[in-house]
Structure 1
Amino acid sequence: MNSQEEAVRTRTTMVQKVLRIFEWLLDLYVLDFYIDNQWERLPQSWRESVETMDPEDLGAYLTGAPIKHMLPLSFLSMIKSVQALSIPRESTSQYKAKNNEDYNEFKVGNHPKLKNLFLKHVKIKKRHEISLMADIVSETAKKCNCKTVLDFGSGLGHLVRVLGYKHDLFAVGIECQPQLTEAARQLDLELEYTAKKHLTEETMSKLKRPMHFNMTLTSHEQLLQLPLVDNITEYGLIGLHPCGDLAPLLLKHFVNCSKVKYICVVGCCYMKLTCDSEPYGYPMSAHVKKLGGKLSYTSREIACHAIEQYSERLRRGQYEDLKIHAYRATLEKILVEHNPALKHSQIRSIKHTNNMTFESYCAAALQRVDVELDAGRVRAGGVCVRAWRRVLLVYSLRLALAPLVESLVLLDRLLYLLEHGLSCEIRPVFDPKISPRNHIIIGRRK
């Protein structure tokens, strides 16, 4: 066992222990706040302390800023443990966030009039992710001397387009939805149509148009039958926020196929991981399997939330619209009292507005549910809604643990690669305020 694997094992074990201590808090589902009387489940010292705390102060404390407020030692120890054991989320790498002017370097054929082609149809968040991801993939491909890269869950092909036309890689996009694949091909043609107006035939002939095709993955063995061109003997695997089990599938293929020289993957949607049966999406490593213990759906779901954005909103006092959590929890209580079979019904997602009453919220939210609630019971629900700050506080306390849950999932994946003798690392690359799932796992075959 090398020193890196030993250090990761030790850290993973400590993370697991802390999460077990606060499992009771992680598993409080905000939807059931009133049904399960969640406020009373908090230690009395916590209730007395945080109920008198302004949300602005709580938001400041969650970001590590000092506040003038006495807090229980058990609460302080939880926060400090999360801060000490979580994988850092602030980027310390050479890669910096790009603003719109920085995209001038994104030129096709190095022509000054072709600097904006990669920006078409791409939202600001996606631009940020694609630019940094493409830089890292290009750097890793060069280190591994491997010019071919496969992007799983490629969508409209924005990432493979940058990798092909800008970074000169042979890029292949693999997507499960045929309509997205066809749209990606059309965007390639649009780019080339514009490029032809400014580039010579010789330069156009050297551009590497991405390939796009469809595949729905259910096992990593399927990847052994990829319909690649005959001259591709090795390649890299990448995934920018592949959903649920797709990231573990890519990692397993990397481990089991010598043709794969490297992998760059950013996880997402941890709540969709398979955790109760083979093939496991979590846990993957032998060490975490040996430790035992499971991550519940609610804990994996909270790990996908944006703690930086949320904490900043609290600090700025922009939390009035978070009353919607109290509205939904109150409606859940009324629905279950009306008919227990209605628990966790799929209702419309409604955004809070300043003039929204609880009655108007219920009317809008229940448009898709065939149920008539007693008007008096709905009016009485206003008593619960007035306790919306408690709902916000419990949600905030749970969210404080989110980085530690995500760290456990990422450390498990890192250990899985290390246990198979592969070189790997985790980098927080994206700005977490722009892209909350901002860690890239980079693995290379030695």
Structure 2
Amino acid sequence: MCSQKDTTKDAILKSLKVIRMFDWLLDLYVLDFFVDDHWAKLPLSWQECFENMTPQDLGDILSGNPTSHVLPLSFLSLAKSVEVLSLPRKTKYEKSKKVINNNEDSCASHPKLKNLFLKHVKLKKRHEISLMAEVVSSVALESNCNAVIDFGSGLGHLVRVLAYKNNLHVAGIECQSQLTEEARKLDLQLEYTASKHLPENIIASLHRPIHFNMTLTCNEQLHQLKLPEEMKTYGLVGLHPCGDLGPLLIKHFINCKQVKYICVVGCCFMKLTCEGKETGYPLSNYVKGLDSKLSYVSREIACHAIEIYLERLRKDNYDDLKVHAYRAALERILVEHDPKLKHAPVRNIKHSNAMTFQQYSTLALERLNIPVVDVARGESDLLQWRRVVTLYTLRLVLAPVVETVVLLDRVLYVLEHGLSCEIHPVFDPKLSPRNHIIVGKRT
């Protein structure tokens, strides 16, 4: 019977073989669609098959629904391989309905305080925080460790739930001082609201979170934190830590016996350091010994929202899909105007899906401080918008298997050090596309 480590290695190896076969597709950056004539780089059978497909057809194919189109065998093989090898994205996790504390004299159970933790929190964040807090509390109980440090704590929404509602000793670390100060204010506001409904002795016994303002760049900084006695041992939490921060937390978990568990949800894979001595990818010795390179653009596409894009495709609404085509058409205009403008950063333009290309390009050129140029070429390119959508969709087919390699490399790294590790899809992928939580425990 294969061990978890062997199974993980096998999944990574097979996933990388698929990625190596289709590096050419992953690396067709949509931004350069017109500049580098990406459509011509697709196999002729793919061009002929996908040329006249509607967005609904593409949406059906991406979701595995039946289609009347005869698809190339090479594409069918790719789609099936990705389906088999990728980590499941549909969550089977159900939020517990049990009451954390039956005593109404608590932040968790008082009927007048049921919305105490929802203020200032958007719907997506509410969903993530409620599920993350439940997972963390469950792992803390299993690990017999009621202290936790949250990295990238922001306004402190998660730490407040863990501390005031779940009764854990919690510290939050945030690099932006403004967010740290605001988090402290929100703590006091919560306590003030709670004090209107709870006895003084309960308020006095609440576990107020500790907030640290610092930029974490190495594990040594964590040893220098001035933690209270009740936090001599603790767990680590990272809810979408950006780039290398996720791997940094995992390394600290491995190297520090004071850390009893870790719950981390990855994000921003394109910002990972992939070369040098201290890499964010690959982490495991096994993957380091393979042909495991993942380009920037392949890691970037792995961070995109597949389920959300699929819905847009199936609505067949050009207004929702044309943004990629707009940017690609603008890129050719910029490069022909000045080659040095290749991949010039155009900040997110709000409501671009409701603009004409003329309006979009005018605003983009203003942001780049470029004088008005003729955009007629772009209008002509936009006649091929369906091709741009198709190429992006074809690349998106591969996204889950790239994410799988990045995440399983982290799991394997923990397993290689003799610690237990699991990974589960917990969040609704339509609300939170990066929805896998890696849970490691030191037994």
Measured after TM superposition, the shift of residue 348 of structure 1 is: 4.0
**CA distance, structure 2, for counterparts of residue 402 and residue 365 of structure 1:** 28
Corresponding residue number in structure 1 for 2:65: 65
Partner of 2:297: 298
- In the alignment, the residues of structure 1 paired with residue 56 and residue 211 of structure 2 have an alpha-carbon distance, to the nearest angstrom, of 48
The one-letter code matched in structure 2 to 1:418 is L
Confirm or deny: 8 A CA contact 2:30 2:388 kept in the other structure. yes
Displacement of 1:353 in angstroms is 5.6
Query: Corresponding residue for 1:214?
Result: 213
The 1:56/1:352 distance shift into structure 2, 3 A limit, reads: farther
Partner Cα separation in structure 2 for residue 96 and residue 196 of structure 1:
27
Aligned partners of 1:12 and 1:412 also within 8 Å: yes
Distance 1:231 1:203 in 2: 19
When the two structures are superposed, what TM-score results if normalisation uses the length of structure 1? 0.95
Other-structure match for 2:382: 385
Contact 1:243 1:267 survives alignment (8 Å): yes
Q: Per-residue deviation at 1:109?
A: 5.2
Q: Deviations over 1:136-186 (max 9, x none)?
A: 000000000001000000000000100011111001111111111111111
SS in 1 for 2:257: coil
1:398 has 2:430 as partner = no
Matches within 5 A, 1:25-174: 25-95=25-95, 108=107, 110-174=109-173
CA distance in 2, matches of 1:401, 1:52: 22
- Closer, same or farther in 2 for the Cα pair 1:175/1:106, shift >3 Å? farther
Change (3 A) 1:171 1:76: same
Q: Which amino acid aligns with 1:64?
A: G
Give the direction of change, closer, same or farther, for the CA distance of 1:354–1:152 in structure 2 (3 Å limit). Answer: closer
Q: Distance in 2 between matches of 1:401 and 1:88?
A: 14
- CA shift at 1:355, angstroms? 6.4
Q: Is the 1:51–1:390 Cα contact (8 Å) retained in structure 2? A: yes
- Residue type at the aligned position of 1:88: P
Mapping 1:233-382, distance limit 5 Å: 233-351=232-350, 356-375=355-374, 378-382=375-379
Could you list the per-position Cα deviations for residues 84-110 of structure 1 after superposition, in whole angstroms to 9, with x for gaps in the alignment?
00000001223379xxxxxxx997152
Task: Tell me the SS of whatever aligns to 2:231.
Answer: coil
Q: Cα distance 1:117–1:33, how it changes in 2: closer, same or farther (>3 A)?
A: same
Superimposed CA distance per residue, residues 203-253 of structure 1 (whole angstroms, 9 cap, x where no aligned partner): 112211111111211112222222212443210000000000000000000
- Consecutive unaligned residues in structure 2, runs of 5 or more: 98-103
- Residue 420 of structure 2 corresponds to 423
In the superposition, relative to structure 1, how do residues 374 and 365 fare at CA in structure 2: closer, same or farther (>3 Å)? closer
The superposition leaves residues 368-419 of structure 1 with CA deviations (integer Å, 9 ceiling, x where unpaired) of: 22323543xx213221111111001000100111111111000000000000
Q: What is the alpha-carbon distance in structure 2 between the residues aligned to residue 343 and residue 354 of structure 1?
A: 23
Aligned to 2:100: none
Cα deviations across residues 279-327 of structure 1 (Å, max 9, x unaligned)?
1000000011001331111001111100001011111223433212112
**Structure 1 Cα separation of the partners of residues 9 and 328 of structure 2:** 39
**Is the contact between residue 54 and residue 316 of structure 2 (CA under 8 Å) also seen in structure 1?**
no
Tell me, yes or no, if the aligned pair for 1:348 and 1:364 is still in contact at 8 Å. no
Whether contact under 8 Å (1:283, 1:289) holds in the other structure is yes
Partner SS for 1:366: helix
User: 2:333 corresponds to which letter in structure 1?
Assistant: I
- Relative distance call for 1:2 and 1:226 in structure 2 (3 A) is farther
Provide the residue aligned with 2:198 in structure 1: 199
CA change 1:231–1:128 in 2 (3 A) is closer
SS in 2 for 1:150: strand
Are the equivalent residues in 2 in contact too, given 1:321–1:352 (CA < 8 A)?
A: no
Partner SS state of residue 192, structure 1: helix
State the 4+ residue runs in structure 1 displaced beyond 6 angstroms. none
Give the secondary-structure state (helix, strand or coil) at the position aligned to 1:236.
strand
TM-score in terms of structure 2 length: 0.95
In structure 2, relative to structure 1, the CA distance for the partners of 1:353 and 1:256 (3 Å cut) is closer
The aligned amino acid for 1:329 is A
Distance in 1 of aligned mates of 2:343 and 2:377: 21
* Change beyond 3 A, Cα 1:374–1:131: closer
Partner AA of 2:79 in structure 1: I
Quick check: 2:169–2:231 contact (8 Å CA) kept in 1?
A: no
Report the more deviating stretch, 81-90 or 352-361: 352-361
Question: Aligned partners of 1:42, 1:236: CA distance in 2, in Å?
Answer: 48
Counterpart code for 1:29: Y
Aligned residues: 437
In structure 2, C-alpha distance between the alignment counterparts of 1:256 and 1:138, rounded to whole Å? 23
CA distance in 2 between counterparts of 1:417 and 1:353 reads: 43
Distance 1:96 1:87 in 2: 24
